[in-house]
Amino acid sequence: MFWRLTSLVIVLAIQGNSDDAAVQQRLARRILTTLSDLGPCFIKVGQALSTRPDLVRRDWLEELTRLQDDLPAFSQRIAEQLIEAELGAPPQQLFAEFPSYPIAAASLGQVYKAQLADGRWVAVKVQRPELPFILRRDLTIIRSLAIMAAPWLPLNLGFGLGAIIDEFGQTLFNEIDYLKEADNAETFAQLFLHHPEVTVPSVERSLSSRRVLTTSWIHGTKLQNRRDLEAHHLDPAALIRTGVISGLQQLLEFGYFHADPHPGNLFALPGQTNGMGHMAYVDFGMMDSINDADRLTLTGAVVHLINRDFEALAKDFVTLGFLNPKADLAPIIPALELVLGGAIGENVGNFNFKAITDRFSELMYDYPFRVPARFALIIRAVVSQEGMAMRLDPNFRILQVAYPYVARRLLAGDTAEMREKLLEVIFDTSGRLRIERLENLLEVVEHDGPGLELLPVARDGLRLLFSRQGRSLRERLLISLVANDRLHTDDLQALLRLLRRTFSPRKLAEGVLARLNPLAA
């Protein structure tokens, strides 16, 4: 193992800076095959690097994203011995039925479909033998070799590679503690308790330990193939919507998210709720949280991106830690506009997160960008979500769902942070009302669901405007209309025209009918 890894490092050091595309393609393939063959820890390292466009060349990232988290199953005898050691009895005594072969095997463990005495089917995940020892050994080798070779490797390092590996190791050891995973699953289930479109398997605590995890079995269809979904009479578009919106809720509302939502961890279930398909999440080993300040900044960044406010977007990157506060933003703002502005074009629907990630990776490699450790898993989650969606619908664009969601939350102003962000969006720095920004928000909501979505927005908007929480909005609106000691009747007239046009009786009536009869929508 050591010599194979050393030879890879030597080749990368010699050829890594080559300008020959064919050479880089060969290197990328060699990285992929080497990491795949070296086992669980190296596969996980490759997957982690695939979310770091600030560190790794773009032409290597493509290959790293193909790393598959699966290995051959380990011995049935060893699995049964581990279950007995962890749970106090052999599986034949603990379960009414226990199979002789796992239904799936991954890099960290394998899963069996078993049956309880009461007839319920469960998933039993058993950890690979000697896994903590193997991970410690491999991480020690990786860290030692990486620190020695870092000066010669074609990696864009602005800080210690050792610190990056230590952070990764901590995440990996959290992932192999199945009691922590059980806690994660129950926390996640609580967050979606009142969302019938999202199902979370329940944990069987009496049949779980640090190395064995038993949960209810999900009888669903993996979100991997559009034809499979349609064969089971499931609507791919409704499922995509649920996947993306539930991901946004995790990041922007709950602040706690599933960091590995690849198709193998997402299952389609029968039924729909308000046009959203039903789906289940499984495998809660890789979870993370995001603080309130970051959630608010991310929400604003989506709005700044759509409004093409690249100066504000650059400042968002500083706030989030992607750019040093002392960085000169003058050359970065036009670079952001070049990469992101052209991608958005005149239509939000043109935005493709994966394509932007590819182009942005070049920008991050050439400019003083760094992905903060806390955002590596967020990037992985978003890229995985969009990848799943585009596998089911190649024409899918993530902002077609993301921006209407953010717009509705802003216009509802249901939290103090959303009200603060709404004021920032619709009023300029001098306090004047930006009619075009408000119009943009309303147009996005209306386009997302004509009539159907306008009704709750009208209700929530009126509630906010006349509530105690809407006091700041009312004050800012009045100040805007009488700024500079004169009444700005043009702004008032434009606002009234916009509201009459958007919330016309016909459109609201269509919304009422759509809610009474969903088939008419």
Q: Residue 153 in contact with residue 9, Cβ under 8 Å? A: yes
Instruction: Give CA–CA dist 490/409, Å, rounded.
Output: 28
d(CA 29, CA 60) in angstroms, rounded, equals 8
- Give CA–CA dist 510/294, Å, rounded: 38
Length of the chain: 521
Q: 268 pairs with which residues across the strands?
A: 221, 279
Cα(156)–Cα(166) distance, rounded to whole angstroms? Answer: 18
Tokens 């398997």 locate to: 201
Backbone CA torsion sign across 73, 218, 263, 56: negative
How far apart, in Å, do the first and last CA atoms of the chain sit?
60
Residues 363, 365: Cα–Cα separation, whole Å: 5
Q: What angle, 0 to 180 degrees and rounded to 10, lies between the N-to-C axes of helices 454-466 and 505-516? A: 120
Give the ranges where 271-324 is alpha helix by DSSP (H). Answer: 292-306, 310-320
The SS3 call for residue 397 is: coil
Residue type, 368: P
Tokens 């802003």, residue?
Answer: 410
Amino acid occupying residue 134: I
Residue 202, SS3 per DSSP: coil
Tell me which of 54, 138, 260, 283 is the catalytic residue: 260
Where are the extended beta strands (E) located within 206-308?
212-216, 221-222, 256-258, 266-273, 276-281, 287-289
Distance CA 520, CA 451 (A): 11
Cβ 391 vs Cβ 263: under 8 Å: yes
> 260 catalytic, yes or no?
yes
* H or E element that contains 230: helix 226-231
Could you count the other beta carbons within 10 Å of the beta carbon of residue 439?
17
Q: How far is CA 23 from the centre of its chain?
A: 33
Tally Cβ neighbours within 10 Å of residue 395: 8
Q: Which two tokens stand for residue 380?
A: 């992985």
Whole-number Å distance between alpha carbons of 124 and 131: 17
H or E element at residue 494: helix 489-502
Distance from C-alpha of 114 to C-alpha of 123, rounded to nearest angstrom: 6
216, 122 in Cβ contact below 8 A? yes
The rounded distance, in Å, linking the Cα atoms of 317 and 361 is 15
Active site residues: 260
